[in-house]
């Protein structure tokens, strides 16, 4: 394959091997209560790392270079498209190629691929004038937020970094707004050149398999105490960071016939403990300013665009799988089954429509970055989480007993029983093994333990529907609609 290296272009890209080497940094990680010496010591984490590493290698392939890389206009070097700053609507469409690529690579089961966290950094950069006007509200540490954002974006781009973005605090006592503050990540002391923070973050997806942790605290900016009003980034192996992994739910090392998706491993969510962690001043993007916390929505607009695009890609996989079910079962002429597939298509097309509308209505931010329309993205994400469980159920129903009666490659290969399975379970124009391979794919995408985790993640990651509706109330301006009604009703 022709690579960017073969073409002689200077680049700032990592190979898969270099990415894997960058994770051997002494990070403190626990899985099933056991301290690991390396992220590669757990089979599920290691399999997930291998998938991520293949994404880095794909940057050098002729097939994927256009989707995964771009030329930095300032330096002329080839960099990861994850760190691209979209200045035009065309740039947005080009950047979306990478979202679609990383989504297809894992069947949409990795909610935090390498290009997700950089989208939040780009979101900060898009509001550079806002952060330039702000200063730390805590005495003793006065970083230049805008300068830090610019520096960190360049650092991430030039080092082809991966990062975990952890925004949520631990699930603790919520009986009152202040009840769970004790576990919030917050500033404990201010030192020369930085601050020390303690507390915890949760659902740190891909943190064990990334280079950096990008963190902030979600919540009402009126409620968050100043010492917990912080945006920052630190290396995963920073002193005082402990990663405690949730239970693994994939099937690493499984035969691809049995588990084509779950066999890829997973991005494991981490409970991240910050124990008196030093954060250098140059890695702080907000400190002590409750007002800055309200910019979470505008900052994360690119991340939400990423989420909706990934969901659309997965929806299209559901459509493709549904069509194959009709083909191998010979049910394509049954009107009720056609209607089921039609509903899958409706879901996929609607998600695409929200994405295209958000890009078509994109506007330049204060920092001169082209940002997709937040209202369209929020409405699309709300539509997706309301319908996702139903869409999964439809696809399962289309499969019928095919999902229940799965036997595995070992059974087909067994000389005593395999011949009976092959003879009695053949589909319409498809062998029994081809039919089962399809059912195994759909099982991994909709029904198995990994699929269950992904479905939960989609719902939690999107925020509850009432919160999204509240965001729509804030994001979608209604003055023009009101004016039209007043004119037609004679109220103007």
Is residue 56's pLDDT more than 60?
Answer: yes
Is residue 91's pLDDT more than 60?
Answer: yes
| Dihedrals phi, psi of 322, to nearest 5 degrees | -60, -40
Q: How far apart are CA 36 and CA 97, in angstroms?
A: 36
Domain pair 16-295 / 300-489, same fold: no
**pLDDT digit string, tens, across residues 235-265:** 999 999 999 999 999 999 999 999 999 999 9
Average pLDDT over residues 391-398: 98
Is residue 487's pLDDT more than 70?
Answer: yes
Domain 16-295 classified CATH 2.40.110.10?
A: yes
The overall average pLDDT reported for the chain is 94
Q: How confident is the model at residue 6 (pLDDT cuts 50, 70, 90)?
A: very low
Nearest 5 degrees, angle CA 319-CA 325-CA 326?
A: 95
3-state secondary structure of 69: strand
443 Cβ contact list (under 8 Å, min separation 6): 403, 406, 451
Q: Which helix (H) or strand (E) holds 17?
A: helix 16-22
Is residue 131's pLDDT more than 90?
Answer: yes
Which pLDDT value is given to residue 110? 96
Torsion angle (degrees, nearest 10) of CA 461, 270, 55, 12: 100
Q: Where are the domains of the chain?
A: 16-295, 300-489
C-alpha distance across the termini of the chain, in Å? 66
Is residue 4's pLDDT more than 50?
Answer: yes
**pLDDT digit string, tens, across residues 283-308:** 999 999 888 888 988 999 999 999 99
DSSP string for residues in 357-399: HHHHT-EE-TTS-EE--HHHHHHHHHHHHHHHHHHHHHHHHHH
Other beta carbons within 10 Å of 146: 20
Task: Tell the CATH topology of 300-489.
Answer: Butyryl-CoA Dehydrogenase, subunit A; domain 3 (1.20.140)
Which pLDDT value is given to residue 34? 97
Q: How far apart are CA 170 and CA 210, in angstroms?
A: 21
Q: How confident is the model at residue 455 (pLDDT cuts 50, 70, 90)?
A: very high
Which pLDDT value is given to residue 221? 46
**pLDDT digit string, tens, across residues 324-349:** 999 999 999 999 999 999 999 999 99
Q: What percent of the chain has pLDDT above 70?
A: 96
**pLDDT digit string, tens, across residues 217-235:** 875 445 788 899 999 999 9
3-state secondary structure of 277: strand
Q: How far apart are CA 417 and CA 446, in angstroms?
A: 28
Alpha helix ranges (H) inside 133-203? 145-158
């Amino acid at each position: 394959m022709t690579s960017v290296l073969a073409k002689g272009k200077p680049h700032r890209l990592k190979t898969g091997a270099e990415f894997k080497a960058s994770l051997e940094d002494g990070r403190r990680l626990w899985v099933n209560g056991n301290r690991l010496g390396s992220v590669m010591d757990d089979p599920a984490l290691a399999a997930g790392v291998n998938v991520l590493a293949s994404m880095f290698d794909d940057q050098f392939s002729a097939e994927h270079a256009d989707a995964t890389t771009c030329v930095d206009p300032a330096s002329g070097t080839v960099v990861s498209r994850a760190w691209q700053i979209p200045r035009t609507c065309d740039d947005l469409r080009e950047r979306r190629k990478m979202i679609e690529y990383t989504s297809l690579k894992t069947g949409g089961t990795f909610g935090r691929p390498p290009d997700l966290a950089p989208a939040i950094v780009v979101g900060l950069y898009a509001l550079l004038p806002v952060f330039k006007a702000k200063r730390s509200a805590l005495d003793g540490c006065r970083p230049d937020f805008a300068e830090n954002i610019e520096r960190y974006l360049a650092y991430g781009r030039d080092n082809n970094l991966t990062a975990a973005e952890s925004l949520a605090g631990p699930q603790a006592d919520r009986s009152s707004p202040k009840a769970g503050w004790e576990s919030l990540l917050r500033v404990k002391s201010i030192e020369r050149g930085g601050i020390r923070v303690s507390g915890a973050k949760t659902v740190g997806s891909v943190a064990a398999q990334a280079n950096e942790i990008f963190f902030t605290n979600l919540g009402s900016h009126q409620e968050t105490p100043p010492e917990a009003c912080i945006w920052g980034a630190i290396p995963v192996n920073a002193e005082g960071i402990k990663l405690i992994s949730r239970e693994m739910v994939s099937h690493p090392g499984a035969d691809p016939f049995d588990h084509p998706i779950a066999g890829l491993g997973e991005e494991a969510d981490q409970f991240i403990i910050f124990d008196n962690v030093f954060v250098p001043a140059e890695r702080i993007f907000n400190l002590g300013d409750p007002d800055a916390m309200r910019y979470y929505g505008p900052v994360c607009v690119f991340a939400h665009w990423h989420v909706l695009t990934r969901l659309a890609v997965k929806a299209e996989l559901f459509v493709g799988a549904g069509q194959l079910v009709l083909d191998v079962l010979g049910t394509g002429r049954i009107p009720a089954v056609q209607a089921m597939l039609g509903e899958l298509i409706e879901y996929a097309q609607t998600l695409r429509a929200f994405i295209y509308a958000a890009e078509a209505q994109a506007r330049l931010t204060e920092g001169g970055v082209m940002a997709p329309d937040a209202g369209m993205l929020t409405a699309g994400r709300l539509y997706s989480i309301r319908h996702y469980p139903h869409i999964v159920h439809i696809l399962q129903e289309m499969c019928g007993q095919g999902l229940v009666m799965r036997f595995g490659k070992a059974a087909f290969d067994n000389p005593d029983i395999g011949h009976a399975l092959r003879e009695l379970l053949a589909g319409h124009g498809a062998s029994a093994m081809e039919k089962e391979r399809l059912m195994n794919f759909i099982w991994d995408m909709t029904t198995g333990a990994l699929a269950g985790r992904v479905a939960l993640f989609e719902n939690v990651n999107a925020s509850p529907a009432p919160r999204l509706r509240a965001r729509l109330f804030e994001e979608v301006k209604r003055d023009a609609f009101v004016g039209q009604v007043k004119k037609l009703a004679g109220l103007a």
